[in-house]
Each structure stands twice: as C-alpha cells, then as structure tokens.
Structure 1
Amino acid sequence: MVLIPALIAASIAAQPAPPTEPPPAPTTDAVDPLTARVDDSAAQHFAQLWRDTDGKPTADQIEERYLRDGGRGVEVFTPYRIRDAEHLAATVAKNPDLYRNAVERCLPWVADTNAELRASYLALRGLLPDRPLPQIAVVIGAGNSGGTADTGIQVIGLEVLCRLSPTRESFNGKMRQFFAHETVHTFQPRPSAEARKNPLLASALVEGVADYITDVVTARIPDAERDTWARAREAQVWRDFQHDAAIVQAGMGSDGNATPKAEAAYGRWFGNAGSPPKGWPSELGYWVGMRIAQSYVAQAKDPHTAIDTLIDAADPAAILSDSDYGNDFAR
C-alpha cells in the first residue's frame, strides 16, 4: 500500500510531510542569475572513486568517499533515488557502461552548461522576480531519476541525463530543460488538503506547471514527441485521465492509503519513465497538467497572477474549473 500524500510528494521529490505544513525557509544564499554556476563537486568525487576502483566501487567505498560527505545535493538525492550505498554499488555493478559514460563523456561537459543555467535563470527572474532562485548540484544517482528539488536547491542525476543525450548539443538542451523544470519545483509548497482530494490532478499540476513554465522560459516544449502524440488524441487522453482520476479518488482510504487498483491507475500517468502503458508515451500526466496550465493562463485576465496561482496550486479542482480545459471536447 502507498500513502496518497506520498504519491503527490513523489512528484516533487519531497519527503512526505504533513500536508498543511508550509515549506521551510531557504537554507542557501540567494543565487544571482548572472553568476550562477552548476556545482559538480559531488559528481567529481564519484568520478575519482570510479577511476580509483577501475569502475568497481564497493558499498563501503561509496559510503566513505561519496555519500558521507557528498553535500546537500547527495543528501537530497538519497531518499527514493540513491537509497543507500548498497543499492548504488549494486546498480553501478549492473550497469558499468552507464556510469563510464557519465564519468568519461558527460561530466566534462557540465561546466559548459553554466551558460545554459544563466540563460534559464535570467528568464525565470524576469517571469518570477520575487521567487528566490535555487542552488544547482549535479550528482551521480542510481539510474532512476534525472532530477529532483528541495527548498533552495535542485539536483540533477548526471548518469540519467547522459543516457538521454547522445550528443553534446542534446546534453546542453536537456540540462537547460531541467534547470527550468526543477527550479519550479523549489517554488511549490507541500500538497494542500484540497490537493489530497484528487491526487492524480494534483500531481498533474505539480509536474505540468513545471513543464509549462519550462516551455515559457526556454521556448521548447518538454518532450516534443509526447506532445505530438498526445495532441493528436487529446480528447481521448482527457477522458482516460478523468476516468483514472476517479479511480484514484475512490481508492483513497481514510488512513491515506491507496488500493492496488488506485495505484495502478495513478501509475498509468506517473512513475513510468521508460515503461509506459503499451502504445503510450512516458509520464503522460505531465502533458495533461501542462495543457491545463496553458488553458488556465489563456483564460486569465492577469497572466502573472495566474502563474503564481498555478505554482501554489492550493486548489487543483478550482484551477481546472477556471481553466475551462476539456469543455470543448466531444463527449
């Protein structure tokens, strides 16, 4: 069984917390978009360990030389991702080429993405001048996450982005996308009581708003192939989403647990990168949330206020209603 609040929290990669708890104050200094830089020190420590052990680090070595003093980036990336030294050591042993590629091919490219970071941050500062920009860390994870965020910091899993980027140009583009998307997650509060009433919709807004703002500040729709596929089937996608949202809602117990049927319905839209439902693109819930966000801003009298409302997403049902999204689709 899975806690419903944890399903939502996993979308923003935050550890579960009481849903009414406000986010803690940032623990890092404000970042200047003109001088922002990617901190790759943790990834460099892993790379040195990789070289010293001929690509075969033990769990004890990973704990001593990487996890123990890996900094806040590794700390944030450990729950749900790295998990522990034993898990990371086993993953490295099973996928040596993945880590060799990250260390030898992509890590040397990271420093050159500072320009991408600054461009993204200048755009975000212009769009959201009152929101503090987070620190950026690049780490080596367990091959299961490209990035996550916590208050005041976003963390990127280098080995995953490297796997998704066959060329230096594509790597720079992926990094710029993650710089924008994960930054939005650092702005989002913990799930509200209203969000817990419709976990699938709440998760769609958490991820879809981040993708919407990424599109605004980079002029690139995240996952263009998914966008093309879904736009050609938008009415059916929306009907399927509503159907599964009702299943998830019905499967919520009074103790906050989800039934297996609810978990399966949720999993059709999230948490399926690389293994989506047959015939579907991965993580289709991101796209649904992005389309709701686009419609919400288009309907708003003041788009700046609308974007602030979307980031906070205190009442997902009201946002959906005010967006008019889906009202024109044939029934």
Structure 2
Amino acid sequence: MLAFSARAEPVVSTSDVERFYAIYEAADGKPTADQLQRDYLDQGTDGLKHFASIRKITGERIAKAINERPEIYVQARECVAALPAAKARVGSALNRFSELYPEAQFPPVTISVGRGRPVAVAGPNDGINIGLEALCATTFINPNVEDRLVRVMVHEFIHVQQNPELTDKENPTVLDLSLVEGSAEFVTELLTGDVAYAYMADLVKGQELEIETRFQADMASTDLSKWLYNSTPSNPQDLGYWVGYRIAKAYYSNAKDKRQALEEIITTSDARAILAGSGWEPGSGIE
C-alpha cells in the first residue's frame, strides 16, 4: 500500500517515463515486447507495477500499441515538457483544497507510459496513475496540454477522497456514477477555475434541457453505456459527467454552509440525497 501525504505537496513520479523513452530511443522507436516487459515494466516503480496489474498492461500489449498508433508515443514526449509547470499548479490547487477540506489526503501520482489507455485511474489505497501517452492523445478533452494535465490530476485527487460505498458500489446506477464523476468535475472547477473535461460545454450547448430530460429518465438504470465511459476521440460523450457536475454545483450553490456542503458532496454514499438537496431538475440553472 502506498503512503499518503497529509500535505498539499503532490509527489509526482516520472521516472517510468524517463526509462520508457530511454528504451524507446535506443530501439529507434520500435522496442520489442520482451524489452518492454523486461527492461521497462519489470523494472518499474510500484505505481507502474500496480497500474500494469489492474489494467492488463504487458510488454506485448505496449509493443502492439506502438505498432498500431506510433504517433501517440511521439506526441507524449512533447507533453513531458509541460509536467513541471503542471505539478506546480496542481500543488497550488491542492493547497486551496486542504483549506476548504482539511481531511483531504494526497497520494503519490505515478506518470508512466502504457498501451494507449486508460488516461488515469485512482484508488483509495493505491494512489493515482496517469497514462501519459493516453492523456496526451486525448486532445479533445482540452487542447491546452498543461491545463489538461493539471485538471485531470486534480479530478483524480478528488476521486481518492470520495466514499467507497458510492464509488465501489456493486451495481451502481447512472445517477451514482454520474455524481461520482460530476462531483470531481465540480471540485476541480472550484479549485482550478474550470472542469477537467472542458469539451462538455460546447457538446451540450443548446441541448441542455433535452439531455437532462433523457438523463432523468435513465438515472435509476444500471446500464451506464449511454452516459458514462463511452467517449472516443472522434465521438466525445460521457454526458453523465456533465449532468453530475450540474447536480453537485446546484447542491453547493444552494447551501448556506459551503464548507459543509463540499464535505457532503465529497463523502456522500447516497447520490439520491445529494440530488434531493440540490433542487436540480431538467433545464434548471441554464444560463
């Protein structure tokens, strides 16, 4: 289990990225599956080994991804330059977070190179993992690389704080996980000035009432496929993030005690209680 820090000074490890590109360059951009397994994954940090274990990342799968999508591994090298400034901005955001929510914990962040997905994962016991090549390839999230790095990391830090009774629910509903993701988006906006998944504003413009009406009809369903984890670079979706964000923001806006409201949003195990307290309904709050 990784050690957590109670200070808003994120430990961001990039040594796996450095080792990957040493291997990559020595092989002229075509490392073998064996090289990637033996010299990269097997020699990786604890964070990378955990990431590889839970997301089935192997030398063979990375080699296949490099062969099929070589451009994302070239592009990821350019993102490395944005990491120092991004780390400083994340630190500032988390200092603000620790003031608003003193119970916050700040796990280490491991940035590594994988098989093209996922962008990021976070767990209450195992810290945060960022797949650099995946995050750098998802320009649709936010075209500004530094902003994308900062806000995705902050979004993942919020996930770490959330109640496992909601985040790890056995049969979550559309509402449950939309609130999990939307709350992380709302708190990210509160701390950094904007949400992580910035494309949402343009995607929903002029369709707010129609989207939220459909969401209301589906929110008790355990079929997540229409609302969550269904984005691709050519077809950005994940509209549950946006509706969940609207619910969390409404709950916070309506609360007299903002600090208490923030704690309730982060620690809730009952999405319906937050929904009820938010006053949200389809089309509410459209500006």
TM-score by length of 2: 0.87
Task: Classify 1:198/1:61 alpha carbon distance in 2 versus 1 (closer, same or farther; 3 Å).
Answer: closer
**After superposition, what is the alpha-carbon deviation per residue over 1:215-264, rounded to whole angstroms, capped at 9, x for unaligned?**
00001133333124425322211121122334x34xxxxxxxxxxxx3xx
Q: Do the aligned partners of 1:92 and 1:99 also contact (CA within 8 Å) in 2?
A: yes
Separation in structure 2 between the aligned mates of residue 285 and residue 186 of structure 1, nearest angstrom: 19
Map of 1:19 onto structure 2: none
Distance 2:163 2:102 in 1: 18
Q: Which among 281, 286, 303 is matched to residue 241 of structure 2? A: 286
Tell me which of 27, 34, 53 is aligned to 2:2. 27
CA contact (8 A) 1:40 1:139 kept: yes
Cα distance 1:111–1:241, how it changes in 2: closer, same or farther (>3 A)?
same
Aligned to 1:257: none
Aligned residues: 281
The residue number in structure 2 matching 1:241 is 215
Return the letter of the residue paired with 2:103.
D
1:133 aligns with 2:100: no
| Kept in 1: contact 2:161–2:266 (CA 8 A) | yes
Structure 1 unmatched ranges of 5 or more? 1-25, 250-261
- The residue number in structure 2 matching 1:16 is none
SS at match of 2:121: strand
SS in 1 for 2:185: helix
Deviation at 1:315, TM superposition (A): 0.8
DSSP-derived class of the 2:219 partner = helix
Aligned amino acid, residue 121 of structure 1: L
In angstroms, what is the RMSD of aligned CA positions? 2.6
The equivalent of 1:269 in structure 2 is 227
Moved over 4 A (4+): 192-198
The verdict on how the C-alpha distance between 1:236 and 1:154 changes in structure 2, with shifts beyond 3 A counting, is: same
The one-letter amino acid paired with 1:84 is T
Cα pair distance change 1:31/1:309, threshold 3 Å: closer
For residues 129-151 of structure 1, what are the alpha-carbon distances to aligned partners after superposition, in whole Å with 9 as ceiling and x for unaligned? 22111212211122122211123
Q: Which aligned pairs between 1:315-330 and structure 2 lie closer than 5 A?
A: 315-326=270-281
- Sequence identity, in percent? 27
Q: Distance in 1 between matches of 2:53 and 2:28?
A: 27
2:57 is the counterpart of 1:83: yes
Cα deviation, 1:85-122, whole Å, max 9, x if unaligned, reads 2222211111112112213x222432343322222222
Given that residues 273 and 282 in structure 1 are in contact (C-alpha distance below 8 angstroms), is that contact kept between their aligned partners in structure 2? yes
1:204–1:285 Cα contact (<8 Å) kept: yes
Residue number among 206, 217, 220 corresponding to 2:194 in the alignment:
220
Once residues 197 and 141 of structure 1 are traced to their aligned partners in structure 2, the CA distance between those partners, rounded to angstroms, is 29
Q: Secondary structure at the match of 1:326?
A: coil
Higher relative contact order (CA 8 A, sep 6+): 1
Q: Helix, strand or coil: the match of 1:148?
A: strand
Whether the 8 Å contact between 1:38 and 1:111 is mirrored in structure 2 is no
Q: 2:92 is aligned with what amino acid?
A: A
Tell me which of 128, 143, 146 is aligned to 1:172.
146
Structure 2 matches for 1:193-204, cutoff 5 A?
198-204=172-178
CA distance in 2 between counterparts of 1:42 and 1:307 reads 35
Deviation, 1:46, is 0.8
Question: Counterpart of 2:17 in structure 1: which amino acid?
Answer: A
1:310, CA displacement in angstroms? 1.5
C-alpha spacing 1:173/1:132, structure 2 compared with 1 (3 Å): same
> Which residue of 2 is the match for residue 123 of structure 1?
96
Letter in 2 for 1:146: V
> Could you list the per-position Cα deviations for residues 5-34 of structure 1 after superposition, in whole angstroms to 9, with x for gaps in the alignment?
xxxxxxxxxxxxxxxxxxxxx73141533x
Aligned counterpart for 2:74 among listed residues 100, 124, 133: 100
Q: Name which of structure 1's ranges 180-189 and 143-152 shifts more when overlaid on structure 2.
A: 143-152
Q: Which stretch has the larger CA shift, 283-292 or 191-200?
A: 191-200
Cα distance change, pair 323–79 in 1 and its aligned pair in 2 (3 A): farther
One-letter identity of the residue aligned with 1:220: D
For residues 257 and 267 of structure 2, the distance between their equivalents in structure 1, rounded to whole angstroms, comes to: 16
Residue number among 69, 74, 83 corresponding to 1:110 in the alignment: 83
